[in-house]
Structure 1
Amino acid sequence: MNLAFDRSAGTGPEVVCLPMFGMSRVAMAACFSSAFAGADLRETYLDLPGHGDTPANCAPTSQAVLDTVCGWLDDRVDAPVLLAGASYGAYLAAGIARQRPELVRGLLLVCPGVTIARETRDLPDEPPLDASTGWLDDAPAALHEHFDAALGQRTPAVVATVLAALDSGGPGDATFLQRLQSGPDYALPDENAEVVFDGPVTVLTGRQDRVVGYADQFRAMRRYPRGTFTVIDAAGHYLPFEQPTVLRALAQEWLRQQHLR
């Protein structure tokens, strides 16, 4: 399977990191590399089909994307591995644990999607936190509505960090991504399956995440008998860029649960 990837030279267990929808492996390295610092992991960052430098080499469905990632894991890693993902990448990681549990040693799910259909998501209805004056001035107008819903830390510095992440890495395939996100098979067919994964799982959510929320993620914890759930205040959907210190602390605790720290 042809997926662009970067891999560090660590000598410990491998952690494979899956990106947010539309983001690249470079952006995910910016999220997770500091969180994993000192663990001597073999950190592997993938570009999903149609993301970054990976061509759109599968059908525009989430199941095809998941199957492509599983094929890459079959070919390129010594299973089981640790899987880490953010947003759509976390949605896929949870799907891999359901469908191919023999590939997965443990899960780190950051702001994971649980249900793809936006109208079914249980989102916070409280007003957003106060924002710095002019906090969106440097963001393109097309992203103002998204950032207003996505960010808990509403400051120019956080906006600049997220914009840099969105612009990093390869160009991706915008046509493929639009077909994937708008198509009838954006949801995995087993999205609602009550399949139990017995490995160590840490789920991190943002209290002000009005993209995927935090309540659906808590209800999904019944699928993870060894799961830890945390909702973080002053954080939204871009939690790794909003609360990097908290992410590092909780990622290091997740590694301790794997008996790696």
Structure 2
Amino acid sequence: MDLAVDESAGTAPAVVCLPMFSTSRAATASAFSPALAGAGRREVYLDLPGHGDSPATCRPASQAVLETVCAWLDRHVDAPVLLAGASYGAYLAAGIARQRPDLVSGLLLVCPGVTIAPTSRTLPALDPPEAPAGWLDAAPAGLRSHLDVALGHRTPAVVATVLAALESGGPGDETFQNDLRASPEYALPDEDDDIVFDGPVSVITGRQDGVVGYADQFHAMRRYPRGTFTVIDAAGHYLPFEQPALLRSLTQDWLRRAVGAPSR
């Protein structure tokens, strides 16, 4: 299938960016485009099946989603590419590097999921950071508990930026997303495999990320012998919108390492 895509002109290798669960390529671009600015790379932003403007033409299973993305990459880009993702998009990016390393020359994993089941994650046992009174007032009631857990930089301005990103892009297929999240196949079958990926990797996590944490990601660094790991204070699961300047600095460092690396 053809996935909905936005892309910019630029040089190879392309940077292909995968979105957080239930978000669109527009949200992904708002997260990653400022961090990639000035690098001159071709930037590619995809809507996953059943997300944004991409139809749900595969079964609701993460392996099927991954294979759909790989099929798109096989048809539309010159491999290998630089693969970036946030949250579920980073989970898929790591899976692609395990299963199709021929497609990937480097990985940028921001707040990546390591295990898909929430009960299996190591989450920080911290008191929430201080926040001004009414910092969540602009958020819909149904999102407030999530943002309270997810955000480490807790200000009305950050909330407004996150909400704008979440509301951007196509509507997606809510039934497909719900079925995918509820499926026993939400986890990739090789989620626990310690397959080594030897390209340049940067793993960036938030110290106050109450959704996926940061400890599991550090333990997974054994899979990345050329990996850099960073945990950022005053950042949670929406790190690109909470600490954009730090994300840009770390992304530019990853690009220098990745573009200068030998082709895999």
Task: Report the Cα offset of residue 12 of structure 1.
Answer: 3.8
CA distance in 2, matches of 1:131, 1:119: 27
Task: Report the Cα offset of residue 61 of structure 1.
Answer: 0.3
RMSD over aligned Cα, in angstroms? 1.0
Q: Deviations over 1:186-237 (max 9, x none)?
A: 0000000010000000000000000000000000000000000000000000
How many positions carry a matched residue from both structures? 261
CA distance in 2, matches of 1:41, 1:118: 35
> Counterpart of 1:164 in 2: which secondary structure?
helix
Say if 1:39 and 1:260, in contact at 8 Å, map to a contact too: no
Q: Which residue of the partner structure matches residue 5 of structure 2?
A: 5
Moved over 6 A (4+): none
Q: Which residue of the partner structure matches residue 53 of structure 1?
A: 53
Task: Report the Cα offset of residue 11 of structure 1.
Answer: 2.6
> Counterpart of 1:107 in 2: which secondary structure?
strand
Q: Which residue of the partner structure matches residue 131 of structure 1?
A: 131
CA distance in 1, matches of 2:202, 2:4: 26
Q: Which residue of the partner structure matches residue 241 of structure 1?
A: 241
> Counterpart of 1:33 in 2: which secondary structure?
helix
Task: Report the Cα offset of residue 13 of structure 1.
Answer: 2.1
Say if 2:202 and 2:229, in contact at 8 Å, map to a contact too: yes
CA distance in 2, matches of 1:197, 1:257: 15
Give the residue type in structure 2 aligned to 1:142. Answer: G
Give the residue type in structure 2 aligned to 1:10. Answer: G
Give the residue type in structure 2 aligned to 1:48. Answer: L
CA distance in 1, matches of 2:30, 2:144: 23
CA distance in 2, matches of 1:12, 1:92: 22
Give the residue type in structure 2 aligned to 1:116. Answer: I
CA distance in 1, matches of 2:90, 2:208: 18
Task: Report the Cα offset of residue 10 of structure 1.
Answer: 1.2
Q: Which residue of the partner structure matches residue 168 of structure 1?
A: 168
Task: Report the Cα offset of residue 260 of structure 1.
Answer: 5.1
CA distance in 1, matches of 2:217, 2:66: 20
Task: Report the Cα offset of residue 258 of structure 1.
Answer: 1.6
Say if 1:13 and 1:81, in contact at 8 Å, map to a contact too: yes
Q: Which residue of the partner structure matches residue 199 of structure 1?
A: 199
Q: Which residue of the partner structure matches residue 107 of structure 2?
A: 107
Task: Report the Cα offset of residue 163 of structure 1.
Answer: 0.5
> Counterpart of 1:35 in 2: which secondary structure?
helix
Task: Report the Cα offset of residue 2 of structure 1.
Answer: 1.4
TM-score (norm 1): 0.99
CA distance in 2, matches of 1:46, 1:132: 36
Say if 2:13 and 2:80, in contact at 8 Å, map to a contact too: no
Give the residue type in structure 2 aligned to 1:255. Answer: L
> Counterpart of 2:35 in 1: which secondary structure?
coil
Q: Deviations over 1:151-193 (max 9, x none)?
A: 0011111111110001000000000000000111100000000
CA distance in 2, matches of 1:39, 1:139: 34
CA distance in 2, matches of 1:214, 1:121: 9
Say if 1:107 and 1:201, in contact at 8 Å, map to a contact too: yes
List runs of 5+ in structure 2 lacking aligned partners: none
Say if 1:83 and 1:108, in contact at 8 Å, map to a contact too: yes
* Percent of aligned positions that are identical: 73
Q: Which residue of the partner structure matches residue 187 of structure 1?
A: 187
> Counterpart of 1:229 in 2: which secondary structure?
strand
1:214 matched to 2:239: no
CA distance in 1, matches of 2:258, 2:163: 33
List aligned pairs for 1:76-95, cutoff 5 A: 76-95=76-95
Task: Report the Cα offset of residue 16 of structure 1.
Answer: 0.2
